[in-house]
Amino acid sequence: MSDWWRGAVFYQIYPRSFCDTNGNGVGDLKGVIEKLGYVARLGVDAIWISPFYRSPMKDYGYDVSDYRDVDPLFGSMADADALVKRAHDLGLKVMIDQVWSHSSDQHPWFAESRASRDNPKADWYVWADAKADGSPPNNWQAMFGGASWTWDSRRRQYYLHNFLPEQPDLNVRNPAVQDALLDIARFWLDRGVDGFRLDVVNFYVQDALLRDNPSLDLPRAPARPHQFQRHLFDRTQPETLEFIARLRKLLDLYGAAALGEIEDEEPVATQRIYTDGPARLHTAYSFSLLRAKRMTADVIKAAMNAWNGAQGWPSWSFSNHDVVRFPTRLAENDRERTKQLFALLLALRGTAFVYQGDELGLPHADVPFGRLRDPEAIAFYPSGIGRDGARTPMPWAREANMAGFTDAPDAWLPLDPRHRALAVDAQEADSNSMLAFARKMIALRKSSAALREGDFVALDAPDPVLAFERAAMGERMLCVFNLGDQPQEWDALAPVGEARLTLGGAKRDGARVMLPPYSALFA
């Protein structure tokens, strides 16, 4: 069976902000279909689409009220089927989000579960009695602030929610819940999707005894209360892997793949555990590089070395809908540095995920407080990570209304004025644009077995030079990056072969590689 996902380049689409075809200021599935030709021309192998299911939108689709239907805001099931067909016609695989750690509190399952303690779905969510003084069962803290428990006066018990109170946690220990989730997987696999991105996959199961998390000894108070604790008991329990084994068996029948999102205190170690062998996930990503404040040679080598000897296969991205966009976070919005980091992402061993707008070098958008929609950003303002800044409308046409995203005078989030100059049509006409470079770099990766699947071998180089070799199937690719703001020279100790791609004026002369600031060479 083909490991089509291994070494692939995925393009993440956040449909609310991709393209609006009905003029309501919110992107939709027909908008995704309309722009899939553009995505295919990037040269990527697959798309990952964030949730488009029925939802009250308290967390913008990550609170699902019906896993088997499309929210009317995004379109219809016919649109979803047409999207999968169009993607396949263009040679693109389709991965869709599945949010199985929790549902919406408007899901019929939860309505039944909360009705009594003895109904057929009474044990489909995580319920617990109050302590003798009426307080929550333990000290767990929700990611979006406050206790992880909310009192329900109907059952006269607390229910668990790792995020918003409107996102109650499913009891994935329950075999009936597992069966229901696998039925959802079959529903979408039968409609032709090629895999699932599993939201916070290590949150599926909690400690059976609901023990308190230990506190951390912190020098100063963090911005969020959940950061006061070591999360030993509210996530990453071994029983989760038993369910993953059942899911993997189903996926293998369809030739489909699972990508797990890992949110943990030891992210790479947990990534390895969750991908370690044929009964685990096909691949997983964590926030280890997504939250990095600086990109250094040591950061990259540590991430790569952590996978030495692993059975599993990693995935990497520098941006997504949950973090500050990498051109701002890592490159100070400098175009050449942004190109270099894009090249670095696609040079790493693993599957690469490009977030919509990365290929344009979009800076993280400024969203004023009055326009914030993200519940986390609002709760922790001004210390939040500002997820809304990564979710603003995709700019398609520089001079068009709302940069071509919508015919409406405004959108669900504002357009950052800086994004107009970086619109797709403006970059299409510029051979030196970020978009032109992104296409070149994706093409280089696709043409190279070494870059797609090869081993990673770090080479000796003085900081801030990062040098490594990728090797597979008799091909060796040298990758050299000057991550600093001063010119550098590096001695490869042997003559460097023909340059396949250079950036920022990097050159070779025999065994010497001359590297201007923020340059790169592939040879």
Rounded Cα distance between 6 and 4, Å, is 6
- Residue 468 inside a domain? The answer is yes
- Residue 153 inside a domain? The answer is no
Query: 212 - beta bridge partners?
Result: none
**Distance, CA of 96 to chain centre:** 12
Residues 516, 422: one domain? no
Domain CATH number, residue 478:
2.60.40.1180
- Residue 127 inside a domain? The answer is no
Q: Which of 417, 443, 469 is the last residue of a domain?
A: 443
Residues 352, 231: one domain? yes
Q: Which of 386, 408, 443 is the last residue of a domain?
A: 443
Total count of domains within the chain: 2
pLDDT at site 224: 85
Rounded Cα distance between 237 and 248, Å, is 18
Examine the residue annotation and report whether 261 is marked as an active-site residue of this protein.
Answer: yes
- Residue 131 inside a domain? The answer is no
Rounded Cα distance between 41 and 110, Å, is 43
Examine the residue annotation and report whether 265 is marked as an active-site residue of this protein.
Answer: no
- Residue 288 inside a domain? The answer is yes
Residues 507, 431: one domain? no
* Catalytic hit among 28, 105, 194, 261: 261
Q: Write the pLDDT tens digit of every residue in 262-271.
A: 999 899 999 9
- Residue 273 inside a domain? The answer is yes
Residues 466, 506: one domain? yes
Q: Write the pLDDT tens digit of every residue in 274-305.
A: 999 999 999 999 999 999 999 999 999 999 99
Residues of the chain with pLDDT below 70 are 1, 384-385
Rounded Cα distance between 402 and 419, Å, is 10
- Residue 192 inside a domain? The answer is yes
pLDDT at site 384: 67
The DSSP bridge pattern shows strands 257-262 and 465-472 to be unpaired
Rounded Cα distance between 3 and 126, Å, is 36
Rounded Cα distance between 179 and 208, Å, is 20
Residues 262, 352: one domain? yes
Full-prediction pTM beyond 0.95?
yes
Q: Which of 408, 443, 478 is the last residue of a domain?
A: 443
Domain CATH number, residue 177:
3.20.20.80
Residues 490, 468: one domain? yes
* Catalytic hit among 63, 79, 105, 199: 199
pLDDT at site 294: 94
pLDDT at site 385: 66
Residues 488, 390: one domain? no
Rounded Cα distance between 238 and 486, Å, is 48
pLDDT at site 495: 92
Residues 285, 394: one domain? yes
DSSP state of 147: B
Rounded to 5°, angle at Cα 499 from 497 and 503? 145
Residues 16, 59: one domain? yes
Domain containing residue 242:
9-104+172-443
Starting from the edge strand earliest in sequence, which strands make up the sheet with 157-160, in order? 127-128, 157-160, 149-152
- Residue 140 inside a domain? The answer is no
Residues 322, 398: one domain? yes
